[in-house]
Structure 1
Amino acid sequence: MITRNGDSRRDEIVRVALALLDEEGLEAVSLRAVARRLGVRLNTVSWHVKTKARLRELMADAIFAGISLDGLPDDWRDRTTELAHRFRRALLAHRDGAFVVAGTFVAEPATLRAAEALVAALLDGGLEPRDAGWTCWTILYFTLGLTQEEQGATGAVAGLLESAVTPDSHPALARVLPHLVDNEFTRRFEFGLDRILDAAARG
């Protein structure tokens, strides 16, 4: 049962929503399902989070809260790299975590704290404000996109490509096919992040 008032009740709702996410996936998360898990009426949950979209925003911020800002390197590039890795790990810590965060724009404390740390690292690297802002978005988009692919990977895409691509029909794709369908997500992440930061450093 929900027994406390104010923000603590909302936090409890978000914790239950994340538990449902981890157990059953994003499609199973709804205000009604959360109310049922808590043993309360739907309007009790609706009072605190209003809509499913708002619940998803709060869940996204809770995922960002899993990003520790302790013990970060002093060097701007090392710090940016470490923050990006911590962001990815926070997404992977929850089933469908990247799908929860993608498509939301959350001005909540944990999200803003992580964004502040990332942008500060880029500014410390000498990037102009516009470049720091756009590089921040680039890192976030890249991390979300790759992690969504990783969390949704079933092997079906690989099978479709392997059956459709031949050296005669698509010679360029055929040459790189093993690297398109592998599951080297960590190495792909490191590869892409390095190139984003190489471009940022060049200005």
Structure 2
Amino acid sequence: MTKKQAVENRGARLDPGTVIRAALELLDETGLDALSTRAVADRLGVRMNTVLWHVKTKAGMLELMADAVIGEIPLDGLPEHWEERVRELARRYRRALLAHRDGAALVVGTSTAEPHTLRFAEALVAALLNGGLGEREAAWTAWALVYFTLGLGQEEQAAAEQPLDGRLAAALSGTSHPALTRVLAHLGPDSFDERFEYGLSRIVGS
């Protein structure tokens, strides 16, 4: 057996989980823009077709990666009270996104109905329904929490690569942008935790 055949045989024994773990490692090292099925194949030492056999397309790979990120959220040890349970789920969601480079951008760019994502969504919506919210209100509150967390997560991770506060300050004029100039001190890179908790309170309640 040639070395090439041995490599391909190892590739044939790959499973989607192995491919997605390699893809997440690459994500953390290189970022979302540099991620490709070819890069994952090179990482695993197999042909790109071997990777595609397991993930079908790059979009499919990204969906499985997003689901794997959400799968890192523990759903045990949650508070009993529905409101605190919702808050804790949102906090854990945010931590999972921030645990991976471009994690928020990865998840926001996909629309997946994979098991881990559905499991988290079920826990979040169930907590809201248990709090007495109507079906539409529970669904829309869950979406508001998810979109808020994803948006703030993207901003936070982008700021880590290229801080916004310095560029924003340079672009603002006290004459042309008096309101933005007044609040600029509250939009710095050290305010994300407080902004997240504030947003939770506005969406879920005080």
TM-score of the superposed pair, with normalisation by structure 2: 0.91
Instruction: Using the TM superposition, name which of 60-69 and 22-31 deviates more.
Output: 22-31
Letter matched to residue 186 of structure 2: H
For structure 1, which runs of at least 5 residues remain unmatched after alignment? none
* Counterpart residue number, 1:146: 152
* Counterpart residue number, 2:190: 183
Aligned residue pair count: 196
CA distances 1:95-131 after superposition (whole Å, capped 9, x unpaired):
1110110021110110000000000000011000000
* Counterpart residue number, 2:166: 159
Whether the 8 Å contact between 2:129 and 2:135 is mirrored in structure 1 is: yes
**2:105 aligned to 99, 106, 114, which one?**
99
| Distance (whole Å) between structure 1 residues aligned to residue 116 and residue 154 of structure 2 | 21
Deviation at 1:65, TM superposition (A): 0.4
* Counterpart residue number, 2:7: none
Matched, 1:125 2:131: yes
Percent identity (aligned): 60
| Distance (whole Å) between structure 1 residues aligned to residue 167 and residue 84 of structure 2 | 38
Whether the 8 Å contact between 1:21 and 1:96 is mirrored in structure 2 is: yes
Question: What is the Cα-based RMSD across aligned positions, in Å?
Answer: 1.4
TM-score of the superposed pair, with normalisation by structure 1: 0.92
* Counterpart residue number, 1:28: 34
**1:172 aligned to 157, 179, 196, which one?**
179
CA distances 1:26-63 after superposition (whole Å, capped 9, x unpaired):
12211101111111111111111111111000000000
* Counterpart residue number, 2:199: 192
| Distance (whole Å) between structure 2 residues aligned to residue 157 and residue 93 of structure 1 | 21
* Counterpart residue number, 2:13: 4
Matched, 1:82 2:88: yes
Whether the 8 Å contact between 2:156 and 2:189 is mirrored in structure 1 is: no
Whether the 8 Å contact between 1:83 and 1:118 is mirrored in structure 2 is: yes
| Distance (whole Å) between structure 1 residues aligned to residue 157 and residue 98 of structure 2 | 8
* Counterpart residue number, 2:64: 58
Give the 4+ runs in structure 1 shifted more than 6 A: none
CA distances 1:134-156 after superposition (whole Å, capped 9, x unpaired):
00000000000001111110454
